[in-house]
Amino acid sequence: MRRWLGRIGFGASVLVLISPALMVFLWMLSLSLKNELDNTDFPPIFIPNPPVWTNFIAVFERNDFLGQAWNSVVVSFSATGLAVLFGVPAGYGIARMRATRAAVLILIARITPGLSYLIPLFLLFQWIGLTGTLAPIVITHLVITVPIVVWIMMGFFEGLPPELEEAAMVDGATIWQAFWHVAVPLSRPGVTVAVILSFIFSWNNFIFAMVLAGRNSRTLPVAVNNMLTFEQISWGPLAAAALLVTLPVLLLTLLAQKQIIAGLTTGGVKGG
Amino acid sequence: MSIALSGVAAAGANPRRRNYARHYWWFVAPCGVVVFATILFPWVFTLFMSVHDWKLGGGRSFIGLANYQRLFTDERFGWAVLRTLYYTALAVVFPMLLGTAAALAFNRKFPLRGLARAIFILPMMATPVAVALVWTMMFHPQLGVLNWLLTSMGLPPSLWVYDANTVIPTLVLVEVWHWTPLVMLIVLGGLASLPVDPYEAAKIDGATPLQVLRHITLPLLAPFLIVALIIRTIDALKAFDTIYVITQGGPGTSSETINIFLYLNAFAYYNMGYASAVVVVFFLIIVALAMLLLWARQHFKDAA
Chain B residues in contact with A235 (beta carbon < 8 A): 137
Instruction: Classify domain A62-270 at the CATH class level.
Output: mainly alpha
Residues 91-150 on A with a CB inside 8 Å of B are 92-94, 96-97, 99, 102, 105, 108-124, 139-140, 142-143, 146, 150
CB A67 within 8 A of CB A75: no
**Spatial separation of the C-alpha atoms in residues A165 and A178, rounded to whole Å:** 5
DSSP state of A182: I
pLDDT of the residue at B99:
95
Quote the pLDDT of residue A229.
Answer: 67
- Whether the per-residue pLDDT at A203 is higher than 90: the answer is yes
Residue B141 sits in the same domain as residue B34: no
Strands B52-54 and B60-62: antiparallel
Residues B231, B180 within the same domain: yes
- pLDDT surpassing 60 at residue B1: no
Task: Return the pLDDT at A126.
Answer: 86
- Contact of B172 with chain A, judged by CB distance below 8 Å, is answered with no
B146, B42: one domain: no
- B33/B84 same-domain check: no
Q: Which of B33, B50, B67 is the last residue of a domain?
A: B50
CATH number for the domain including B278? 1.10.3720.10
Determine, yes or no, domain membership for B66: no
Q: What is the pLDDT of residues A69-108, one digit of tens each?
A: 999 999 999 999 999 999 999 999 988 887 777 777 777 8
Q: For residue B20, what are the domain limits? A: 2-50
Min Cα separation A123/chain B (Å): 9
B198–chain A nearest CA distance, Å: 23
Residue B57 covered by a domain: no
What average pLDDT does the structure give for chain A?
86
B109 in a structural domain: yes
Residues of B in contact with A117 (CB under 8 A): 38-39, 42
Same domain, B38 and B146: no
- Chain A residue whose CA is closest to B190: A269
pLDDT at B304 over 90: no
Over residues A146-151, mean pLDDT: 89
Q: Considering chain B, what percentage of its residues have pLDDT values greater than 90?
A: 42
Enumerate the domain spans of chain A: 1-52, 62-270
- On whether residue B188 sits in a domain, the answer given is yes
Average pLDDT over residues B69-92: 94
Asked whether residue B64 is domain-assigned, the answer is: no
B34 and B79 both lie in a single domain: no
Optimal mutation site among B96, B98, B121, B127, interface A, most CBs of chain A within 10 A: B127
Q: Verify that B139 and B200 share a domain, yes or no.
A: yes
Given this model, what pLDDT does residue B303 score? 63
Q: Does B66 touch chain A (CB under 8 A)?
A: no
Relative orientation angle of helices A257-270 and A135-158, to the nearest 10 degrees = 80
- Give bridge partners of residue B62 from the DSSP assignment: B52
pLDDT at B37: 85
What is the pLDDT, as a whole number, of residue B39? 83
DSSP bridge pairs for B52: B62
Q: What is the DSSP string of chain B?
A: -HHHHHHHHHHTS--SGGGTGGGGHHHHHHHHHHHIIIIIHHHHHHHHHHTEEEBTTS-EEE-TTHHHHHHHH-HHHHHHHHHHHHHHHHHHHHHHHHHHHHHHHHTS--TTHHHHHHHHHHHHHS-HHHHHHHHHHHT-TTT-HHHHHHHHTTPPP--GGGSTTTHHHHHHHHHHHHHHHHHHHHHHHHHHT--SHHHHHHHHTT--HHHHIIIIIHHHHHHHHHHHHHHHHHHHHT--HHHHHHTTT-STTTT--HHHHHHHHHHTS-BHHHHHHHHHHHHHHHHHHHHHHHHHHHHHHHH-
In chain B, what residues touch A211 (CB-CB under 8 Å)? Answer: 267
Most confident range (mean pLDDT) of A47-51, A208-212, B206-210 is: A208-212
Instruction: Please give the residue that has the higher pLDDT: either B157 or A42.
Output: B157
Same-domain status, B109 and B30:
no
Mean pLDDT of B174-190: 92
- Judge whether B284 lies within some domain: yes
Mutate to test the interface with B, among A24, A82, A212 (most CBs of B within 10 A): A24
Q: How many domains does chain B contain in total?
A: 2
ipTM computed for the complex = 0.89
What residues of A are in contact with residue B282 (Cβ under 8 Å)? 113, 116
Same domain, B150 and B260: yes
Count of beta carbons in the 10 Å neighbourhood of residue B304:
7
In a domain, residue B210? The reply is: yes
Q: Are residues B124 and B248 in the same domain?
A: yes
**Residue B56 resides in a domain:** no
Which one has a higher pLDDT value, B11 or A109? A109
Chain B residue with the nearest C-alpha to that of A249:
B126
pLDDT tens for each residue of B261-295: 999 999 998 888 999 999 999 999 998 988 888 88
- The DSSP 8-state label assigned to residue A133 in this structure reads S
